[in-house]
Amino acid sequence: MELQDVRRDYRKGTLTRDELLDNPIEQFKLWMQQALTTDLSDPTAMVLGTSARDGQVSQRVVLLKGLDERGFVFFTNYESRKSREIAVNSKVSLHFPWFAIERQVMIAGVAEKVSVDESRAYFQSRPRDSQLAAWASPQSRVVKSREVMTQQLDTLSKKYAESEIPLPEFWGGFRVRPSEIEFWQGGPNRLHDRFIYSLQPGGHWLVERLAP
């Protein structure tokens, strides 16, 4: 089959303005709760887009670990590529690709580091092996082999065998404060439903329908 012949129609729902809540964070929480009750794989996975100093854009999948009126939180190595690019340009995008339920959410905003206390609280909630992996992996850096990291993991496991694993200075969270949030619902005949919330002066949200 040719790629140009791969297609399907979208028939799982529609979206109207009357169905949307006035607050996009509350609307996102509603959609997330619905996604969590389906068989959707990794509903908290989101594609994070950042850009380098030369304008080159890069993307990767991170996991949503916190959400409130301030924004969307994820955690990472502060020396990783994504973190270095955020340091240059804090404007980022997030994308939740819930294809199985024919929905997407796209977010534009500014990323900022969360507090050390918030990072420590989440770090200590992680499985012990995940804590050790944060120390063992020089994220985004070139390594000679996987064995280099597994050996480092083994060394760290022995080092902290009888003690609490401390929060690495190079590891923590980012919060993306949204300025735009778009909700996309697949529709028949490619007439998808798209609504965008845009943050206005004074802190209220303008909601508009977009053509698909």
Q: pLDDT tens digits for 130-154?
A: 999 999 888 888 888 898 888 888 8
pLDDT of residue 9: 82
User: For 159, left (φ over 0), alpha (ψ -120 to 50), or beta?
Assistant: alpha
| Cα–Cα nearest to 125, from 83, 73, 176 | 73
Instruction: With a cut of 90, say whether residue 197 has pLDDT above it.
Output: yes
Please give the model's pTM, rounded to 2 decimal places: 0.93
pLDDT of residue 137: 86
Question: Which of 2-16, 80-94, 112-126 bottoms out in mean pLDDT, i.e. has the lowest?
Answer: 2-16
SS3 153: helix
Full domain range(s) for residue 78? 9-126+168-210
pLDDT of residue 145: 87
Task: Determine which one of 8, 190, 194, 209 is catalytic.
Answer: 190
pLDDT of residue 58: 98
> Among this protein's residues, is 146 annotated catalytic?
no
Strand segments (E) across 29-144: 45-51, 57-63, 66-68, 71-77, 91-98, 103-113
| Cα–Cα nearest to 188, from 12, 19, 16 | 12
Residue 147 lies in a domain: no
Q: Which CATH number does the domain housing residue 186 bear?
A: 2.30.110.10
Residue 158 lies in a domain: no
Tens digit of each residue's pLDDT (9 = 90 or more) over 53-66? 999 999 999 999 99
Residue 142 lies in a domain: no
Average pLDDT, rounded, for the chain: 95
Structure tokens at 202: 């004074």
Residue 156 lies in a domain: no
144 or 69, which is more confident: 69
Residue 172 lies in a domain: yes
Residue 187 lies in a domain: yes
Residue 161 lies in a domain: no
If one counts the domains in the chain, the total is: 1
Cite the DSSP H helix spans in the chain.
Answer: 24-36, 81-88, 116-125, 128-136, 146-159
Residue 88 lies in a domain: yes
pLDDT of residue 11: 83
Tens digit of each residue's pLDDT (9 = 90 or more) over 174-190? 999 999 999 999 998 88
